[in-house]
Amino acid sequence: MSSESSPSLKAGDHVFLVDGSSYIFRAYHALPPLTRKSDGLPVGAVAGFCNMLWKLLQEADETAAGVTPTHIAVIFDHSAKTFRNEIYDQYKAQRPEPPEDLIPQFGIIRDAVRAFNVASIEQPGYEADDIIATYACQAVEAGADVTIISSDKDLMQLVGPHVIMLDTMKNKRIAEPEVFEKFGVAPDKVVDVQSLAGDSVDNVPGVPGIGVKTAAQLINEYGDLETLLSRASEIKQTKRRENLIEFADQARISRRLVELDCNTPVDVPLADAAVRKLDGEKALAFLKAMEFTTLTRRVAETAGKDAGTVEAADLAIKGWDAPETAAPSGSSEKSVASPASGAGPAALAEARAAEIRAIPLDASAYECVRDVARLKAWIEDAFETGFVAVDTETTSLDPMEAELVGVSLSTAPGKACYIPLGHRDGEGDLLGGGGLLEGQIPLKEAIDLLKPLLEDAAVLKIAQNLKYDWVILKRLGIEVAPYDDTMLLSYTLDAGLQGGNGMDALSERWLGHTPIKYEDVCGKGKSAVTFDKIALDRACSYAAEDADVTLRLWQVLKCRLPGETMTTVYETLERPMVPVLSRMEMRGIHVDRQMLSRLSGELAQGAAALEAEIHEMAGETFNIGSPKQLGDLLFGRLGLPGGKKTKTGAWSTSVSVLEDLAAEGHPLPVKIVEWRQLTKLRSTYTDALPDHINRETGRVHTSYSLASTTTGRLSSSEPNLQNIPVRTEAGRKIRKAFVAAEGSKLLSADYSQIELRVLAHMAEIPQLVKAFADGLDIHAMTASEIFNVPVKDMDPMVRRRAKAINFGIIYGISAFGLANQLGISRGEAGDYIKTYFERFPGIRDYMEEMKRQVHANGYVTTIFGRKAHYPDVNTKNPNMRQFYERAAINAPIQGSAADIIRRAMVRMEDTLAASKLSAKMLLQVHDELIFEVPDEEVDATIPLVARTMEDAPSPALSLRVPLQVDARAAQNWDEAH
DNA sequence: CCTGCCCCATA
DNA sequence: GTATGGGGCAGGA
């Protein structure tokens, strides 16, 4: 800070004195607890402060102050104890500690002041108010005018002909009339009134029974405090008279407490607070570090600098612990703390939600944007706001064949629009609809206008299930960034909680609002029409409401992340998956239509032959595909033994039942199992897959869901490419139809035993850890441990049993389940489990710990901190309860493995690009990634992919066991796997 | 025409 | 025993 002497103040100067300390409290309580940096640092008050300061520096004349300052200083309280505590030890004694997330902001605001090259003033032993009083007196003496930026009533005593106050939050000027209105006396008598009335907030005692009204009346009558006290005996009202006499000294002490000191020793002469030139670099570095995108842009414009070239400042923040890189592992006690209690983050989030709920939601009030001028206005608004909720309306749920019909935007709760672009006449001809409706901006023109906004780094785009819109917009040449996804926010925070993460459910849960249903707009089933056929006003209500709801959900959900320490999970495991999966879906995979068609024919023939045989053997024709008819035949008419009932009381005809019958020597069930397999393969795969081949790309594009499992796994649908057969020879023929493009190979890389490795890590099982480290056969090792047999020359049946137990452990083993799986008695299965736990006591400890946690918290966590909620685990139904307990045992294992492959996927594209390799990730099947690789790059790609997958946990975590990835390339998926 | 049930494909 | 998605049947609209 400058210490050389500056020209002293002169008449006509205008001094702005900003009451920094009171501003931060007011900003904190007035602004919603929404604003946080991506690392969770709360910066809402800082943001408010910076905007205010910037406005004062740039356009103070447009505020209620009406002038531009020549001098400006921000004044802070230095310490809690001041000379007033020596006068009265109770002064401000009952003031509560500042809220936890406000504390780190005190220091940052001082940084902000310096970043804007403004004088920051504080003085040990004195309150900000005294320094302000001193500066104000000095300025007035020099003939200058003063504006005090504060609304603190304690400063109103300073108001006079040359001193006003400015409440920037209300943009309200406080001069003599306003002071008179508040205290009933002129500013120079305010101290007398306060001395009598006291102040419960600052613990100024005053005189009992006298408030501001009475005090003003008394002062107006007697002139000033001393006169009043000396003539107190004249007061008519008994109690008031007695109190004024008895508490006269207390009133005098109060006067000394409230009267501001105009003679504070100040180290920095006011002249040094002359407005200085903005240091663009310094300001931008600070603002970038704070992630205040809008203000960064404004300052960059004003300073004529490119914000992109400025490095964010490195701010060491005291009193704030950023969330850990990896959240505590499942066995940590730290996760016990309930986020739902007291005035913690959960309460703040709830307060936030209540606030947003209170803003009316009226679907008929949205704007339908029909011309370029209005579209530009909305785009400008989004740039100003710095964030915008975006939603697209299209002709199909499949983003790869959907056509864009319109776009909706929202920049504030209740403020949303819909931009129709592709609506057509509902009375279309048979060739696919009528012409475009009038009054719509041409698609290309709208896209050209929207692209800069949707790709601008300074504007956050908010969507519900962005992956869909991302693909739609990418096909139109727009790559949306940066972005947030409300569905993923909800999934990160509440995976497994009732209702799911769909927009309608979230709107109900958080906003108490039922959005217009898609079916109510477009109809459903056979009579459904595509969105382009919907009349504009109806379309606008529906579409704009979605954007409005999305924006509100974002405001409710985003601020929960840091308080629930889920920022890292969201930022590393969820958010970055959106473009990764979008690109995978867009690439699709090539399937050989002819091969499938041929296979379908073969399967049909085989099934027909079996059908004839079955009918022959049964002695009647019946529908083999009807479990009901089949059950009646086998256990009714044929009277076979060993029938089991399903939970609804029908005969079970599942494979296990049919195999039991086959083992008894009945030939019919064998044929039925074969028939089932063939028809299943045909209907589910060979016949269904070709229907999913995209007309334009000639490839199959699955859709991955990021938010539909409780554990963190993805799911795949339309078509589901995560359940393509592999176990049987007939099934593998279907895999052979998944082929690489000409000149390429399919590369399959899969984690070996990843869930068992994760379990070995989490439960810290020495034998398992060692076995994995040594690269042993883990099932054989298990068998050796529990059945006490050597690994060498092991009976394959013994190994099979151990393998089943290992899987059972992952699933939260029960004797019942294991017995079923191995076809042994429950007693025998129970013995196996008992032995297993004796050999691996850590496994039992792990299981018990997960059960304890799920009962205590309602959720369990993966090694990367992902939560899986089981809200109903405390049910009284013992079967349900045990079911949830098993799920809670399984979730950290399955979920941690899912986290690991997510990390690999997020990193994969950059890793390949860095090595100049052009392999493209196409599919994910839980522990396997499938790539399409040019022939000549196969050899270089295999080790790189494998290493990236194996190293995926680091640097966040280092597992106790190595991960192993097997990778292979071939012309088709079957041979690569 | 929709929904619940059964069955079955994968990890 | 965990986690999914999907096809066919059958009953109730």
pLDDT in tens, A447-472: 999 999 999 987 899 999 999 999 99
Q: What pLDDT shows up at residue A3? A: 44
pLDDT band at A927 (very low <50, low <70, confident <90, very high): very high
Annotate A371-430 with DSSP letters as a single string: SHHHHHHHHHHHHHHSEEEEEEEES-SSTTT--EEEEEEEEETTEEEEEE-S-B-SS--T
Q: Select from A26, A48, A47, A28 the least CA-distant residue to A151.
A: A26
pLDDT surpassing 70 at residue A328: no
Angle, alpha carbons A641-A646-A648 (nearest 5°) = 130
Per-residue pLDDT reduced to its tens digit, A481-538: 999 999 999 999 999 998 899 999 999 999 999 999 999 999 888 888 999 999 999 9
Q: Select from A537, A550, A535, A530 the least CA-distant residue to A393.
A: A530
For the ranges A117-121, A264-268, A792-796, the lowest mean pLDDT is seen at A264-268
Give the CA distances from residue A666 to residues A121, A224, A336, A657, A804, in Å, rounded to whole numbers and listed in that order.
Answer: 95, 112, 56, 12, 27
Beta pairing class for A387-394 and A590-591: unpaired
For the ranges A26-40, A179-193, A963-977, the lowest mean pLDDT is seen at A26-40
CA of A214 to C1' of B11 (A): 79
Average pLDDT (A265-293) is: 89
Q: Could you tell me where the beta strands, DSSP code E, fall in A175-217? A: none
Give the CA distances from residue A307 to residues A282, A300, A310, A779, in Å, rounded to whole numbers and listed in that order.
Answer: 11, 6, 5, 58
Determine if strand B comes within 7 Å of the CB of A629.
Answer: no
What contacts A178, CB < 8 A, 6 or more positions away? A172
Average pLDDT (A661-688) is: 94
pLDDT surpassing 90 at residue A290: no
CA of A863 to C1' of C5 (A): 27
Give the CA distances from residue A341 to residues A95, A344, A348, in Å, rounded to whole numbers and listed in that order.
Answer: 23, 6, 11
What contacts A450, CB < 8 A, 6 or more positions away? A375, A379, A407, A478
Domain limits, chain A: 14-273, 280-339, 357-575, 590-727, 754-895, 897-976
Average pLDDT (A211-238) is: 86
Higher pLDDT, A25 or A396: A396
List the structure tokens of A458. 């300074």
Q: Select from A456, A397, A500, A942 the least CA-distant residue to A718.
A: A397
CA of A869 to C1' of C4 (A): 17
How far, in Å, CA of A894 to CA of A926, rounded? Answer: 9
How far, in Å, CA of A477 to CA of A491, rounded? Answer: 29
How far, in Å, CA of A515 to CA of A512, rounded? Answer: 10
Determine if strand B comes within 7 Å of the CB of A114.
Answer: no
How far, in Å, CA of A450 to CA of A580, rounded? Answer: 23
CB A829 within 8 A of CB A804: no
List the structure tokens of A488. 């993923």
Q: What pLDDT shows up at residue A36? A: 67
Nucleotides of C under 7 A from a protein CB: 1-11
Higher pLDDT, A505 or A326: A505
Which nucleotide lies closest to A652 by the C1' atom and the CA atom? B6
Average pLDDT (A60-72) is: 90
CA of A654 to C1' of C11 (A): 21
Average pLDDT, chain A: 90
Determine if strand C comes within 7 Å of the CB of A891.
Answer: yes
Q: What pLDDT shows up at residue A334? A: 32
Domain A897-976: CATH architecture, name and number where available: 2-Layer Sandwich (3.30)
Average pLDDT (A715-730) is: 95
Sign of the four-CA dihedral A858, A863, A865, A867 = negative
What angle do the packed helices A878-914 and A841-857 form, to 10 degrees? 100
Sole residue written with tokens 């997960």: A850
pTM for the full predicted model: 0.71
Determine if strand B comes within 7 Å of the CB of A527.
Answer: no
CA of A707 to C1' of C11 (A): 33
Q: Select from A149, A159, A206, A162 the least CA-distant residue to A182.
A: A159
CATH of domain A357-575: 3.30.420.10
Ramachandran sector of residue A593 (left: φ over 0; alpha: ψ -120 to 50; beta: rest): alpha
Q: How many CB atoms lie within 10 A of CB A373?
A: 8
CA of A661 to C1' of B6 (A): 19
Give the CA distances from residue A959 to residues A757, A811, A905, A944, A955, in Å, rounded to whole numbers and listed in that order.
Answer: 9, 21, 18, 20, 10
Query: Helix (H, G, I), strand (E, B), or coil: what is residue A956?
Result: coil
How far, in Å, CA of A768 to CA of A785, rounded? Answer: 10
CB A270 within 8 A of CB A9: yes
CA of A851 to C1' of C2 (A): 15
Determine if strand B comes within 7 Å of the CB of A725.
Answer: yes
List the structure tokens of A923. 């599919």
CB A270 within 8 A of CB A138: yes
Sign of the four-CA dihedral A326, A330, A331, A336 = positive
Determine if strand C comes within 7 Å of the CB of A713.
Answer: yes
pLDDT surpassing 50 at residue A324: no
Query: Helix (H, G, I), strand (E, B), or coil: what is residue A627?
Result: helix
pLDDT surpassing 50 at residue A325: no
Which nucleotide lies closest to A685 by the C1' atom and the CA atom? B9
Q: What pLDDT shows up at residue A331? A: 35
pLDDT surpassing 70 at residue A337: no
CA of A813 to C1' of C2 (A): 9
Average pLDDT (A415-439) is: 82
Determine if strand C comes within 7 Å of the CB of A854.
Answer: no
Residue A964, exposed/middle/buried by CB under 10 A (0-12, 13-18, 19+)? middle
Determine if strand B comes within 7 Å of the CB of A711.
Answer: no
Residue nearest to nucleotide C7 (CA to C1'): A684
Which nucleotide lies closest to A658 by the C1' atom and the CA atom? B7
CB A724 within 8 A of CB A716: no
pLDDT band at A341 (very low <50, low <70, confident <90, very high): very low
Q: How many CB atoms lie within 10 A of CB A355?
A: 15
Q: What does the DSSP 8-state code read for residue A509?
A: I
Please tell us whether the domain made up of A590-727 is placed in CATH 1.20.58.760: no
CA of A705 to C1' of C4 (A): 11
pLDDT surpassing 50 at residue A321: no
List the structure tokens of A517. 């249903």
How far, in Å, CA of A378 to CA of A417, rounded? Answer: 8
How far, in Å, CA of A843 to CA of A846, rounded? Answer: 5
Q: What pLDDT shows up at residue A780? A: 97
For the ranges A77-86, A288-297, A308-317, A425-434, the lowest mean pLDDT is seen at A425-434
How far, in Å, CA of A566 to CA of A346, rounded? Answer: 13
List the structure tokens of A426. 């509902």
pLDDT surpassing 80 at residue A958: yes
Which residues, listed in sequence order, are joined to residue A120 by a DSSP beta bridge?
A: A74
Which nucleotide lies closest to A734 by the C1' atom and the CA atom? B9
Q: What pLDDT shows up at residue A415? A: 96
Which nucleotide lies closest to A524 by the C1' atom and the CA atom? B1
Q: What pLDDT shows up at residue A433? A: 58
CB A42 within 8 A of CB A105: yes
pLDDT surpassing 70 at residue A35: no
Higher pLDDT, A92 or A800: A800
Average pLDDT (A379-397) is: 94
Q: What pLDDT shows up at residue A214? A: 85
pLDDT surpassing 70 at residue A30: no
Nucleotides of B under 7 A from a protein CB: 1-2, 5-11
Determine if strand B comes within 7 Å of the CB of A729.
Answer: no
What contacts A301, CB < 8 A, 6 or more positions away? none
List the structure tokens of A18. 């900003």
Beta pairing class for A920-924 and A163-167: unpaired
CA of A751 to C1' of B1 (A): 44
Average pLDDT (A768-776) is: 97
Angle, alpha carbons A975-A976-A977 (nearest 5°) = 95
For the ranges A216-220, A572-576, A867-871, the lowest mean pLDDT is seen at A216-220
Determine if strand B comes within 7 Å of the CB of A722.
Answer: yes
Annotate A27-89 with DSSP letters as a single string: HHHHS-TT-B-TTS-B-HHHHHHHHHHHHHHHHGGGSTT-S--SEEEEE----S--HHHHH-T
Ramachandran sector of residue A487 (left: φ over 0; alpha: ψ -120 to 50; beta: rest): alpha
Which nucleotide lies closest to A519 by the C1' atom and the CA atom? B2
Which nucleotide lies closest to A708 by the C1' atom and the CA atom? C4
Residue nearest to nucleotide C9 (CA to C1'): A626
Which nucleotide lies closest to A890 by the C1' atom and the CA atom? C2
Average pLDDT (A771-782) is: 97
CA of A665 to C1' of C2 (A): 33
Determine if strand C comes within 7 Å of the CB of A38.
Answer: no
Determine if strand C comes within 7 Å of the CB of A652.
Answer: no
Determine if strand C comes within 7 Å of the CB of A712.
Answer: no
CB A885 within 8 A of CB A874: no
Q: What pLDDT shows up at residue A39? A: 65
pLDDT band at A238 (very low <50, low <70, confident <90, very high): confident
Please tell us whether the domain made up of A14-273 is placed in CATH 3.30.70.20: no
CATH of domain A754-895: 1.10.150.20
How far, in Å, CA of A404 to CA of A400, rounded? Answer: 11
Q: Select from A620, A608, A653 the least CA-distant residue to A634.
A: A653
Which of A101-115, A230-244, A334-348, A366-380 is modeled with the greatest confidence? A366-380
Q: How many CB atoms lie within 10 A of CB A379?
A: 20
What contacts A936, CB < 8 A, 6 or more positions away? none
What angle do the packed helices A754-763 and A878-914 form, to 10 degrees? 110
Question: What percentage of residues in chain A have a pLDDT greater than 90?
Answer: 68
CA of A672 to C1' of C9 (A): 16
CA of A651 to C1' of B6 (A): 10
CA of A525 to C1' of C13 (A): 15
Determine if strand C comes within 7 Å of the CB of A816.
Answer: yes
Q: Select from A254, A318, A260 the least CA-distant residue to A75.
A: A260
Ramachandran sector of residue A775 (left: φ over 0; alpha: ψ -120 to 50; beta: rest): left
Q: Select from A194, A195, A164 the least CA-distant residue to A182.
A: A194
Determine if strand B comes within 7 Å of the CB of A524.
Answer: yes
Q: What pLDDT shows up at residue A843? A: 97
Residue A609, exposed/middle/buried by CB under 10 A (0-12, 13-18, 19+)? middle
Q: What pLDDT shows up at residue A827? A: 95
How far, in Å, CA of A331 to CA of A898, rounded? Answer: 19
**Torsions phi, psi of A133, nearest 5?**
-60, -45
